[in-house]
Amino acid sequence: MLLLRCFVSPLFLKAEEGRKLLAIVLGVSEGLAREGLELIRAQVGMPGVKRAALVAYGEVVFRAWKDGGWVRGEVGEAFLQGMLEGAVFARSKELAKAARKLLCVFVEQRTVAGVEKLIFRLAEPVLFRSLQVANSNVRHNGLHLLLDLFPLEDPEVTKDVNDPLLEKQYFLLDKLLMDDCPEIRTVAIEGLCRILNQFWEVIPSLTISKFLSKIVDDMSKDSWTEVRLSTINGLIYLLDNPQSHEILKVLLPRLSDMVSDPALSVRSAAVDLLLAIRDLRSFQFNKVVGLGTLLSSLSNDHPRVAQKITKLLIPSYFPTKLPLKEACARCIALIKRSPTAGARFCEFALSEGSSPRSLVELIKVSITLALSPTGMTSEQTDGLVTASANLIKSLSDEHSSLASLREFFANTKLKLLFKTVVSEEARSALLSMGPVVSPDDLSALHNQCMNIVMNAAGISEQEGCQKAVQAAHKLVFSSGWSDEMFEALTNILQSKASCFAEIYGIEPPMCPVASSKRKKGKLLKKTSAKPSHDVGKGSSSSPALDNEDFDIVAGTSWQIDDMLKDEEKRAAFLQSSYSDVALSSLKVISQVYIEQCLQFDSLDVVPLLAYLNLAAQSALQDVNQTDISMSESATISHSLNHLLDCFGKFLNESFAGSTNSSKLKHNKKSAQQKDHHREAPKGNAVKGTVNLCMLGTSILKFIVDTTTMNLINDNKVGCLNFALSFTKYASSTVKLHQEQSLSFKGNDLKDIFMLTRSSFTYAAKLLHLVLSNSTETPPEEAFFLANNLLDLVPSVESASGSKYALSLISIVKQWLPVLILGLGCRWLIGPQAEANNMHALVESDLPLWVAALAKNELLVAEAPREDGQSEQGSEDSKSSRKLAEMTVILLKKGNPKILDSVVGVVLSNLKLALQRAEYGFVLGLTRFVCVRLLGSDSSASEKLQLTHDSLRENFFQIDKHVRDDLVDSEESKQQLESAKALIRSILSDV
C-alpha cells in the first residue's frame, strides 16, 4: 500500500528519481502493475488535473513499458488502449485532452523501437472509424488524435502498403475541413497547416495545392469568426517553412479582404499576417494588401488594428535608419496622401519605437508647413495639425521634449493655427494641444473656445463637432471660464425660448441672470433674450422661426446635456445661478417640440432629453443637500407634470379627431396675434408620427428611471395614464396609417419599429414597478396599460407583417408575466373595481389582442380549406398565435388565482362580443378558455370560482340569444350552439 500511495504523491511525480522508482514499481508484479495503472487512470480522469502531472504519468508508463515486464504485456496494452479510447470517446473535452496528453509521451518517443508499431496497432482500428461518426464531439476528439499521431503508418510494411493509408488520412482531413461543426473546421485548418509545416517534403505537391487552395478560397470566407481566424493563424504558422513561400505568394493576395473583416479579432490577425510577411525577404506585404486598403483601415479601425498597421508601415514612412530630415519628409508625404491615416499613424509612432527627439522634429516640420500651406489642400493642412496634436499627446510625459515644444509654440502660434484650420477635428486637436504646449498663456484660446461653444448648431449629429465642443468645454473649465460659458449657453436658450413663447402664445421663460464676474458685453449682445426678428420670413412685428433656430437650440441643449454627464461639470453648473434659467428655457422649448412635432420631417429630441436630465439632476442635488425624501422633490414633480400635461392634451386632440394637430389653445394675446403669425407648414404624416414616438419614448424612459430612483412615487397614476395614452396612440396610429395607405416604409419603418420596441419595454417596466411597489390595491390604469401593450402585437403584425411582430414577441416574452399580472389585478382587487373596468370596456371596442386570440382559435377549429385561405390566415397571424401559446403556458404553470382572474378578463370580453353580436368571437374565446386553458376538464372549473361563475353566466346569456331568436343567421346560431357545447363540457350544472 505504501508503494501505491507513491503514485498520487506530487513529490514522486516532480522528481526524476521519483518517476524512475514508480516505473520500477510497475514492473515488480502483475498485481502492482494493475493497481498502479488503475491509480494513474483515476488521476487522469480527475477534473482539473495539471498538465505537468499528466506528462509525468506518461513518462512513468513509458519507462515501465520500455523496461519490459508486466506493462509491456497485456496489462500495459489494455491500459494504453483504454487511454486511447478515452481520448476519442470521452464525453468531456477536458478528459479527452488529458488522455491525449499522457499518450503524447509515447508519440514523442516513436523513434524508439516498437513504439510506432504499438501506436499503429492500438490507434488504427479506432481512429479512422471515429472520424466518420455522427457525433461531432467524437469527430472533434478523433481529429485532435489524428493530428497528434500524423503520419499514422505501419513501420513493418513497405511504402506501397503505407501510401493508401496516408491517402486515407489526407481524404479525412480534407473532409473535416468542410465539416458541419465549426469547432472541427477550426481545429482542422490549424492542424493541417501544422502538418504542412512539418511534413512538407513528404506530402505530394498536388495534395498541398488542394489543401491550401481550399483553406484560402473557402475557409477564409466561412460564416464563423473562429474559422476565419484559424485560417490566418494557420497560414502565419506555415510561413515558418521557407518551402511554402512560392505557393503562398500566389495565394495570399486572395486574402486582402480579411483586413476589412467584420470581426475585430480577424482584422487584427490579418495585420499580424502582414507583419509576418514584412520580415521575409521574398515577400512584399503591399502586394498582399494594397496600401490604399491599409490606409483606410488605419484611418477608421479599432486602435488595436491601427497600432499594428502603424508598426507595419513605420519602417517605410518613419524609418530610424534614414537621416531625420528624410524620415520626416516620408511621414509628411503619408499625411498629405491620407490626412486621417497620417494623423492616426502619428498617434502610435512613439509606442512603436520612434524616438521622442525625432517626433519633436516631426512636429516642428508639420506645424511650419501648416502655417505656410502653399500648394496644400485644407484637408492636408488639418491633417498636419491633427497629427501634431496626436504626437504632442503621446509626448506629454516626456519633460525634455515638452520644453523644446513650448519654446517652439511661443509667439501665438496656436492662435495663428486657429486661423488656418478648417475642420472640427483640427480645431479639437488644437484645443487639446493648448494646455500642453502653452500652459501659461491659454487666454489666447479664449475667443476660439467661446466661438466653438456658441456656434455648435446641429452638433448632436456631428461626431467631429462634438469632439471639438468637448475639448472646448475641457479647456474652459481648466481655465476658469466656466461661468462665462454657462452665461452664453443660458442666454442662447433663453433667447430662443422667448421667441418660441411669443410665437406660440405660451408663458415665457425666466429672465437671464447677469454675470457676477463681468458686465454684459459683446457676448450678451449676441444672445439677447429679446426675440430675434431676422430669422425666417416673418415681419418685425411677427417673428418667425426656421430650421436654423431649431439647430441652434439642439446644439446648445446637447452641450448642457453633455456637461451633466460629467460629475465635476455637473456640480459646477447646478451650483451656478444659470441652471434655473436653463431649466425654465428648456421647459418652454420642450413644450413647443411636443405641440409642433407633427410639423417637422426631422426632429432632434436632444432639448427634451436635456430638460429631463437637468430636472433629474437638480432633484438629486436637492435631495443630497436637504436630506428630504426623494419622493418629495418639487423640481422633478413640476417638470414631469408639465410634460405629461402637454403630451396628454396633444394626444387627446389626436384621439378627438383633430385635423390639424398643431393647433394650440392660445391665450388672449396669441389669439389677437393669430392673423399676424406665420402658419406652420403641414408636415409629413409618417415623419411626424416618428417624431412624436421619439418624444414619447424619451419621456417614458425618464419616468422609468426616476421611478426606479424613487423620485416620483407620488404620481404613479399620472405616469400610468401617460403610458396608457401613449401606447394607445402608438397602436391606433399604426392602424390608421395602414387604413390610409400611409404605411411606414424603409428607414421610417425601422425607426418606428425600434421606438415601438423601446416604448413597450419602458411601459412594461413601469407597470412592473407600480405593481411590485403597490402596498394597497393596484390602480385600475395598470389593467388598461397591460391591455394596450398586448394590443401592440396584432397592431404591428397587421401593419408591418409577421417578421417585425415576431421580433416584438421576443421583447414581449420577457415581460409577459408582468402583463398577465396587470390583467389579473383587475379581478384580484375586488368586484367594485371589476364593475368600473367593465363599464369602460363596454364603451370601447374589443381589445385587439382578444380579437386576434379569438380569430386564431377559429382558424385552428376550421377544417383545412381547398383554396388554402385557412393556412394563409394562420401564417399571417403567426405572432398572435405565439403570444397565445406563451400565455397559456404561463397561466397553466402559475398561481391558480392568476389563471382564474385572467379567465375572468377573457370571459368579460366574451360578454362584450355577445352584446355586439360578434358571434365568431364568442365561439373563439369560449374555445380558448374551455379547450386551451381548462382542457375540457370539468373538475378544473370547480377550483376556479370566478371562472365557474362567469362561464355559467355567459352560458345563460348565449342560450337566451338562441332561444329568443336574436341571431340573424344560421351560421351565427351554429357558432353559439358550439360555444354552449364547449361550456357544457366544463360545467356539469348547466
Digit-coded pLDDT (tens) for 498-542? 998 988 888 888 776 555 444 333 343 333 334 443 333 333 333
* Cell numbers given for 867: 383554396
Helix (H) or strand (E) holding 246: helix 245-251
Cell, residue 455: 456656434
Nearest to 451 by CA among 405, 415, 478, 480: 415
**How far is CA 257 from its chain centroid?**
25
DSSP codes joined into one string, 176-207: HHT-SSHHHHHHHHHHHHHHHHHSGGGS-HHH
Closest alpha carbon to 615 in 593, 643, 596: 643
Q: Provide the whole-model pTM.
A: 0.77
Please state whether the peptide bond connecting residue 439 to the residue before it is cis, i.e. omega within 30 degrees of 0.
no
**φ, ψ at 518 (rounded to 5°):** -155, 160
3-state DSSP call for residue 530? coil
What residues contact residue 645 under an 8 Å CB cut-off, 6+ apart? Answer: none
Residue 590 CB contacts under 8 Å (≥ 6 apart), including other chains: 607, 608, 611, 643, 646
Where helices occur in 50-92 by DSSP H, the ranges are 51-66, 74-89
- Closest of 544, 550, 807, 553 to residue 680, by C-alpha: 544
Q: How many CB atoms lie within 10 A of CB 662?
A: 19
Q: How many residues does the chain have?
A: 990
Gap between the Cα atoms of 645 and 659, Å rounded:
21
Q: Would you say 347 and 316 are in contact if contact means Cβ atoms under 8 Å apart?
A: no
Tens digit of pLDDT for each residue in 729-761? 877 776 665 555 555 667 777 888 888 889 999
What letter would DSSP give residue 8? G
Q: What per-residue confidence (pLDDT) applies to 672? A: 38
Query: Distance between CA 219 and CA 501 in Å, rounded?
Result: 64
How far is the C-alpha of 25 from the C-alpha of 257, rounded, in Å? 60
How much of the chain is helix, strand and coil, in % rounded to 5? 75, 0, 25
Report mean pLDDT in 10-residue bins for the chain, 990 residues. Answer: 80 88 85 87 87 91 86 86 92 91 92 91 91 94 94 89 92 94 95 95 93 95 95 96 94 94 96 94 90 95 96 94 94 95 95 94 94 88 94 89 88 84 89 85 83 82 84 90 93 92 86 50 38 36 64 92 92 92 93 86 89 90 58 74 86 57 37 37 68 90 88 79 86 64 67 87 93 79 90 84 83 92 75 46 71 88 54 64 91 87 89 88 91 73 80 88 80 89 84
Q: What is the pLDDT of residue 523?
A: 40
Comparing C-alpha atoms, which of 546, 619, 551 is closest to residue 579?
619
DSSP letter at 787?
Answer: H
Show the cell assigned to 469.
Answer: 465642443
